[in-house]
């Protein structure tokens, strides 16, 4: 419980947005269209717009566990 809280805290508090344009390795962003019901598809595009030469693949279904929910599409990407 304390460990889980520390992990979640470490995941949500740091703000790495300024670092995205400095990524200089090939980057593949794979998103499920169901990952963000409030802004479907927009989070992946936002990331792709900020990471130089990033490739964005949006799969039809899925969510946060797209690798599990659509393993065939994920592996094809």
How high is the pLDDT of residue 49? 96
How would you write the pLDDT of the chain (77 residues) with one tens digit per residue? 789 999 988 888 889 999 999 999 999 999 887 656 565 557 888 899 999 999 999 888 777 788 888 899 999 99
> In a 10 Å sphere around its CB, with 0-12 CB exposed, 13-18 middle and 19+ buried, how is residue 13 labelled?
exposed
Question: Torsion angle of alpha carbons 58, 64, 69, 72, nearest 10°?
Answer: 40
User: What is the Cα–Cα distance from 60 to 77, expressed in whole angstroms?
Assistant: 12
Say how many Å lie between the first and final Cα of the chain, rounded.
35
Signed CA dihedral, 35, 55, 20, 4: sign only: positive
């Amino acid at each position: 419980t304390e460990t889980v809280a520390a992990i979640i805290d470490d995941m949500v508090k740091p703000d790495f947005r300024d670092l995205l344009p400095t990524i200089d390795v090939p980057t593949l962003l794979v998103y499920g269209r169901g990952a963000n019901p409030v802004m479907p598809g927009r989070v992946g595009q936002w990331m792709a717009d900020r990471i130089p030469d990033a490739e964005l693949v949006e799969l039809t279904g899925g969510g946060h566990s797209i690798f599990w929910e659509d393993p065939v599409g994920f592996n094809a990407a």
